[in-house]
Amino acid sequence: MNTNYPSQFFKYLAYLLIICIGFSWFAIQNNLLGFTYTDLTDYQLSKIDNTDYIDIAIVGDSSAGNGIDANLLGKVLNKKSISLALTGSFGYGGSYIMAKKAIQKGAKEILIVHTVDMPTRPAYLDRRAGVFLIRSFSDLLNLTEGIHHVLGLYLSKDIVATAIKQTFKYFFLNTDNTENKRSDPSRYDYIKQHEKINTENIDIKINSSLINKDKFYYLNKLVNYCNEQKIKCSYAHGPIHHSFCKNNSDYLSTVNTLISNTNISLLSENPYCMIDNEIGDSEDHILAQYKYLSTNHYINLLTP
Amino acid sequence: MLFNSYIFIFAFLPIVLVGFHLSSKYLSQTKVLLWLVVSSLFFYGWWNISYLVLITFSISFNYIISYYLRSNKAKVALILGIFINIAMLGYYKYANFFIENLNFISNSHYAIENIILPLAISFFTFQQITYLIDSYKGITKDHDFIHYCLFVTFFPQLIAGPIVHHKEMLPQFLKKENMGLKVNNVSIGLTIFLIGLFKKVVIADSMGALATPIFNLAEQGVEITMLEAWGAALAYSLQLYFDFSGYSDMAIGLARMFNIKLPINFFSPYKSKNIIEFWRRWHITLSNFLKDYIYIPLGGSRNGKIKQLSNLLITMLIGGLWHGAGWTFIIWGGIHGMFLIINHLWLNWKGRVVPNQYLDKTITKLIAWLITILALILSWVIFRAETLNGAITMYSAMFGFNGLSLPNSISTLAPVLLSIFPDANIMTNGVGIFSEGSNDAKIIITCIIVLYFPNTLEWMHITKPALNMEIFFKKKYNYKLSYWEQSAKYARLMAMIAMIAILSLGDASEFLYFQF
């Protein structure tokens, strides 16, 4: 019997844990994980802090950030509106937290807008959203669902792998982290888009079998919170390329059923279908110059 | 609470271990075992606190009946005991299935509220039925209620086995020397647990990611090509093995940390050269249960060959139904029953078909292994399918009815194949997720691990990691890889394995066998 075995095991494991957590921590602190868009989250969180009152808070992903002009919507509806849209990486988890924060600040109505393929994305991303939005100790207690969420961030293989890669790039390749630098959210009230994509070969088909039912966990939580606080919360699909609207009636019908099952008010069963000219840097991003068109779509949905 | 979750690894397990150690030091043995019972019930109630009522009733009822059976040997009490257990299992697990089929046959519309299957009900019901039968036979001894509770609820094996036998477990709980943490057992247990965790979160889950989308498409009726279907069937075969044997390893490792040895449950089943051998290596504790409590009471091999073969078929059909309330499981059980019948007939006839001098040749063994593994892969398809239609879609793709789609890397072979098989439907548009070389490599590496590497218990065999291993160690195993030992080298290796497993915990998934 070698009594050193467990002590050696735990010693080496501790070294490895420190190395992995160290890389994650460094990468997060230095904004090296491109997909977290710290500039954007800081900007959106500061809006909540700096606002006296909110009539309508728009939460969601990039389809909402690019597709809804909160100022225009507010002016037409004569209600103070702010967009708190994050990105698809935050999933429904991000929307839940932003909506919760907005409601705590006094928001009277929440509009949730997500891209149509959101239910097919991995559910674990939503669980991380809370951790990316922590800005204080009280956030740590209120936004995460326990210490395991924080561990899930610092000790997940994709975060650690990206953190190691980006840290080496940061020190040895001296590359710019352009993904974060391009955002400048105060100028666009969201992230600046890349170049317009070629729309010639876009043909979106999504099979219903790809829907991940666990994905609705945070949407359910959001609806329950709205009900508890007696706040009107409604859901709408984000704008999407017209090929989706032609090809995916089965998928859309399944998604609509699952969304309705959460007891949220689904404002329309159909998304705003963009023609080729309106497409920006992604199939679900409208070009900035046409943002007013999709905004009008949501104004109509919200008009009693 | 999953074994592969942060809450289990970083909170529950350390707390229970510390509690076990401290109570062993300062309290009586009964109180130490009570600590383990309370911890196990907490573990079980974590999923749904209402399940606790059911398991508590089940334990109390079976304890009272077995107590009565030991002193009275009343057959009526035994039948009542078995009936109540089967009725409970039937209600929670099979009522919906029964009503669905009744409605289908009689064109009626009976409805019952959707019943949620309580976790582990198949496992703890079977364990307790064996206890009742053995109490009737006078094999069990008088045991304290706490000891009996721990026999049923001991958290390492509660949810998905191994199915334990009272004569293996209760004497271990009674031993005074098994109280308190032992560094040696913690080291061995921790190592086995971590290997199991790695098998589950790194290997099984990555295989599942390849298999699930294809099986889901088949359920939707989408046409799948031949290589996609075979790739998914192979990936699922690997997923199921690593998932379930990983769980068994974790259970064996956890129990060992508490100085308890659980029975062996897997021993490289995919190395089997026939189906009989496969069932001696796959879910060994279930096979033993089916043999001892169904096959032998039915008559076993005592009443002639035809009766023996029909007993085998009945046993496997029940084994199939035990896995789940669905026709796919019953058919899967029937298929394995037929495989076993063919295997038994072959054992009788092989001397007449193949000359004796060829039976021990490597090529003969290779052919035997190939036939066995193909039969297993084909049978897992219906086991995995949610509906019969889904299984048929997969089978039609596997047998080439939807054509052959070549991976991009060998698409240049299409003209050659078409010149040999001019009527074949050969396409060159890739094979979905299997077009990516990294996914193919994952499957190949996993196959190498299964077929070349020693299994966990072989690698750890000098520590006598599980009960009933002797049968597999009659001959000496000679692997080029060294066996595990308590050294700094292996401490470092296990720390690496632990770290990789911990990094994969973020997207924790449930074990496949939780549904059974």
Residue B115: strand, helix, or coil: coil
Q: Is some CB atom of chain B closer than 8 A to the CB atom of A160?
A: yes
B461 catalytic per annotation: no
- pLDDT bucket at A123, cuts 50 / 70 / 90: confident
Which residues of chain B does A152 touch, with a Cβ-Cβ cutoff of 8 Å?
6, 505-506
Rounded distance, CA B167 to CA B493, Å?
36
Closest residue in chain A to residue B222, using alpha carbons only: A207
Positions in chain B whose pLDDT score sits under 50: 431, 516
Q: Is some CB atom of chain A closer than 8 A to the CB atom of B494?
A: yes
Alpha helices in B299-424 (DSSP H): 305-323, 327-353, 356-359, 362-384, 388-398, 414-420
The verdict on a CB contact (< 8 Å) between B186 and A6 is yes
Q: Give pLDDT, residue B511.
A: 52
How is B89-100 classified by DSSP, letter by letter? HIIIIIHHHHHH
In chain A, what percentage of residues exceed pLDDT 90? 52
Largest interatomic CA distance in chain A: 78
Q: Is some CB atom of chain A closer than 8 A to the CB atom of B489?
A: no
The verdict on a CB contact (< 8 Å) between B502 and A17 is yes
Residue B467: strand, helix, or coil: strand
Which residues of chain B does A13 touch, with a Cβ-Cβ cutoff of 8 Å?
495, 498-499
- pLDDT bucket at A216, cuts 50 / 70 / 90: very high
User: What is the rounded average pLDDT of the residues A80-96?
Assistant: 93
Alpha helices in A133-241 (DSSP H): 137-143, 147-154, 157-168, 178-181, 185-188, 217-229
Catalytic residue among B147, B166, B283, B323: B323
Nearest Cα of chain A lies from the Cα of B393 at a distance, in angstroms, of 15
Q: Give pLDDT, residue B404.
A: 67
Between the alpha carbon of residue B334 and those of residues A186, B316, B373, the distances in Å are 66, 6, 17
Q: Is some CB atom of chain B closer than 8 A to the CB atom of A12?
A: yes
Query: Apex CA B449: angle with CA B444 and CA B451, to 5°?
Result: 90
Nearest Cα of chain B lies from the Cα of A112 at a distance, in angstroms, of 25
SS3 for B49-71 is: CCHHHHHHHHHHHHHHHHHHHHH
Nearest Cα of chain B lies from the Cα of A63 at a distance, in angstroms, of 25
Instruction: For B42-60, write each residue's pLDDT tens digit.
Output: 999 988 888 899 999 999 9
Q: Counting beta carbons within 10 angstroms of the beta carbon of residue A238, is it exposed (0 to 12), middle (13 to 18) or buried (19 or more)?
A: buried
Q: Give pLDDT, residue A192.
A: 85
B5, B6, B7, B9: best to mutate for the A interface, most A CBs within 10 A: B6
Please, what is the average pLDDT of chain A? 87
Q: Give pLDDT, residue A75.
A: 95
Rounded distance, CA A46 to CA A44, Å?
5
Q: Give pLDDT, residue A182.
A: 55
Which residues of chain B does A20 touch, with a Cβ-Cβ cutoff of 8 Å?
499, 503
Q: Identify the helix (H) or strand (E) that includes residue A251.
A: helix A249-261
Rounded distance, CA B231 to CA B211, Å?
8
Q: Counting beta carbons within 10 angstroms of the beta carbon of residue B114, is it exposed (0 to 12), middle (13 to 18) or buried (19 or more)?
A: exposed
Flag whether pLDDT at A250 surpasses 80. yes
Rounded distance, CA B16 to CA B35, Å?
8
Q: Give pLDDT, residue B164.
A: 87
Which residues of chain B does A209 touch, with a Cβ-Cβ cutoff of 8 Å?
213, 216-217, 219-220, 222
Contact B258, B20 (CB under 8 A): yes
Contact A278, A287 (CB under 8 A): yes
Residue B466: strand, helix, or coil: coil
- A127 vs B38, which has greater pLDDT? B38
Rounded distance, CA B8 to CA B124, Å?
21
Instruction: For A136-152, write each residue's pLDDT tens digit.
Output: 767 766 666 666 667 77
User: In this structure, is the dihedral angle defined by the CA atoms of residues A61, A65, A71 and A72, taken in order, positive or negative?
Assistant: negative
CB pairs under 8 A between A and B: 88
Q: Give pLDDT, residue A84.
A: 96
Which residues of chain A does B503 touch, with a Cβ-Cβ cutoff of 8 Å?
20, 155-157, 160
Q: Pick from B139, B168, B133, B140: which is nearest to B297 by CA?
A: B133
Instruction: For A195-208, write each residue's pLDDT tens digit.
Output: 899 988 888 888 77
Flag whether pLDDT at A180 surpasses 60. no
| Domains, chain A | 38-123+178-302 (3.40.50.1110)
User: What is the rounded average pLDDT of the residues A180-202?
Assistant: 80
